[in-house]
Amino acid sequence: TGSASGHPDNAPGHAGSPFAYAPAPESRSVVDIAPSYGLFVDGEFTEAAGGKVFKTVAPATEEVLSEVAQAGEEDVDRAVRAARKAFEKWSALPGSARAKYLFRIARIIQERSRELAVLETLDNGKPIKETRDFDVPQAAAHFFYHAGWADKLAHAGLGPDPRPLGVAAQVIPWNFPLLMLAWKIAPALATGNTVVLKPAETTPLSALFFADVCRQAGLPKGVVNILTGDGSTGAALVSHPDVDKVAFTGSTEVGKAIARQVAGTRKKVTLELGGKGANIVFDDAPIDQAVEGIVTGIFFNQGQVCCAGSRLLVQESVADELIDALKRRLTTLRLGDPLDKNTDIGAINSAQQLAKIRELTGIGEAEGAERWSPECELPSSGYWFAPTLFTGVAQAHTVAQEEIFGPVLSVLTFRTPDEAVAKANNTPYGLSAGVWTEKGSRILAVADRLRAGVVWANTFNKFDPTSPFGGYKESGYGREGGRHGLEAYLDV
C-alpha cells in the first residue's frame, strides 16, 4: 500500500503531519507473530476442545497473520472454572499485593510498547502513530491508575468494605482491542475479581500478546483467561451460570441481546454501546482549532470509535466558512500503509465493516444529502474508505441517525443554542458530544443540557483513566474508568 493519497498536497514531508517523513515503515520484524495460537486458560496456552481454528488477517493487505483457536462451550466452562478457582486466593490477597501485579503489567506494556503498537496496527489496520501514541500508552496508564486503587478501595467513597463480585466475563470489540482489554481487565483485577475475556474475532492478537504479558508478570494462574472466538463464544461466555459480572463493549444490538440473556440472573452488567456524537460549533469558535477537533473527532481510527463526533452541528452564519476550511484540511490527510508513521487514515477493520459503511453512505446519497470526498487513491488490496463529508443533512436522514462507524461526517446546521441542543439530543444514543465556543458560560449551559456521558469543550477525543466514561439511553449503562468505574466490579 502506498502512503500518499494521490493528492499533490500529500507529498512526503507535507506540513500536515508533525512527524518527519520516513520512507521505510515500521518493520514487521519488530514483533514475532506465531503461525498459530491457542486459548489462554489457567495460565497455559491450549488448543480448543473442538480443535476449531479461524484466521486473522491484516485489513490493510488481506494477508493472513495467524490461525487462532476458536473457543466453544467446553472451553468456556474450563476457563470459567479456572477463574473461579483462582478467585479464592486472588480476592484474599491484600490490595497492596494485587497492586504490585498491576504495576508490573503496566511496566511490561511500556517496555514492549513497540511490539504491541506494530502488532495492533497489523491486526486492526489503524495508523501506527495512533497505536504508538494513544492505544498502547493509554493501556499502560489504565493499569498504573488501577494499581493505585487496589489498596485504597475502602476510601473510594463506595462504602467501608467493598467486596469483589467474583468471575467477570468480558467481551470486547475490534476498534481498540488492547485498550478495551485494559479498560476491562485493570479495574476487575484491582478490585479482586478474576477474568475471562473474549476479544473480537477480527482482532485477537493483542489479547493473546497480553496473555504472555500476564505470564511475564508472574500473575497467578487463572486470574486472567483469554478465549478467542466469534459471537457464539461471547454468547456462551456471558450465559455461563458461574459468571458473576458481565462487561460488554460493542454494538447496541448485541448489548440488548446480552441484557435480555442475563435478566433475572445474579449477574451484574455494564454495557458500553454505540453512539452518534454531536460536535457543536458556535459562530464565535476559533475556526482553525475547531477544524482540527472535527478532524480528530471523526477521522481518528477511521471513525470506528463509539464516541466519534460523527455529526457536525455548525451555526448557520459560519457554516460555509467552516465547511470550506474543513474540505481544505481533508485534502491534506494521508491515507495508506498503517505502518507508515505519516499515515493519518488507515484501513477499515474488516470487509464486513467496509460493506456496512458503503451501504449507509449509499443510503445517505439516495436520501438526498450531498456527498464529498477529497481526491484520494485507495490501495488495491485491503479494506479502504475515503474520508467523506455529507452536507445538506436533515435530522431524519439515516446518516444523521445511525452509527456508521467509519470515516464519514454528517453536517447539519442550527441557528440558536436551543436548536443545537435539541438536534444534538435527537438520536437514540447518548455517549459523547463536543462544544466549540469562546464563552465559558455557554459551554457550561450547553453541556448541562446534553444527554451525553462525556462532553468535550474546545477539544475532542481526549481520554484519561481518571475520568469515568459511559453512556445514556441506548449507548448503555455503567461507567468505566475513574472512581465510578470501580463500582462496576464491587458489591458495595
Which active-site residues does the annotation give? 272, 306
Scan residues 383-412 and list those touching ligand TAP (CB under 6 A). 403, 405
Cell of 326: 474543513
Task: Quote the CA–CA distance of 131 and 108 in Å, as a whole number.
Answer: 16
Establish if 177 lies at the interface with ligand TAP (CB under 6 A): no
Binding window for ligand TAP (CB under 6 A); candidates: 30-38, 107-115, 250-258, 458-466: 250-258
Number of residues in contact with ligand TAP under rule CB under 6 A: 27
Rule CB under 6 A: is residue 250 a binding residue for ligand TAP? Answer: yes
How many Å apart are CA 468 and CA 122, to the nearest integer? 29
Q: Does 234 bind ligand TAP (CB under 6 A)?
A: yes
Number of residue whose CB is nearest ligand TAP: 234
The yes or no reply on residue 382 touching ligand TAP (CB under 6 A) is: no
Where are the strands (E) in 191-277, listed by range? 194-198, 224-226, 245-249, 268-272
Do 391 and 372 contact (CB within 8 A), yes or no? yes
Query: Scanning residues 260 to 299, which ones bind ligand TAP (CB under 6 A)?
Result: 272-274
SS3 111: helix
Task: Find the angle CA(157)-CA(161)-CA(163) to the nearest 5 degrees.
Answer: 105
Q: Which three cell numbers stand for residue 136?
A: 498502547
Query: Given candidates 67, 230, 367, 377, which one binds ligand TAP under the rule CB under 6 A?
Result: 230
Is residue 137 within a helix (H) or strand (E), and if so which, with residue range? helix 136-149
CA distance 335 to 275: 25
CA 257 to chain centre: 20
Q: Which x/- pattern, by CB under 6 A, does the window 321-360 give for ligand TAP? A: --------------------------------x--x----
Q: Establish if 181 lies at the interface with ligand TAP (CB under 6 A).
A: no
Which residues, numbered 21-80, are part of the site for ligand TAP (CB under 6 A)?
none
- Bridge-partner residues for 318, per DSSP? none
Angle, in degrees to the nearest 10, between helices 252-262 and 231-238: 30
Give me the least distance between CB of 201 and ligand TAP, in Å please: 3
Minimum gap (Å) between residue 334 Cβ and ligand TAP: 24
Which three cell numbers mark 352?
464486513
**What minimum distance in Å lies between the beta carbon of 234 and ligand TAP?**
2
Q: Which long-range contacts (CB under 8 A, 24 or more apart) does 7-10 make?
A: 7/331, 7/332, 7/374, 7/375, 7/376, 9/331, 9/332, 10/332, 10/333, 10/334
Q: How far is the CB of 231 from ligand TAP (least distance, A)?
A: 3
Nearest Cα neighbor of 312 from 218, 423, 454, 181 is: 423
> Out of 76, 79, 211, 238, which residue is the one contacting ligand TAP (CB under 6 A)?
238
Query: Applying CB under 6 A, which of residues 136, 153, 181, 235 lies at the interface with ligand TAP?
Result: 235
CB of 434 to ligand TAP, least distance (A): 17
Positions that interact with ligand TAP (CB under 6 A):
171-175, 198, 200-201, 230-231, 234-235, 238, 249-251, 254, 257-258, 272-274, 306, 353, 356, 403, 405
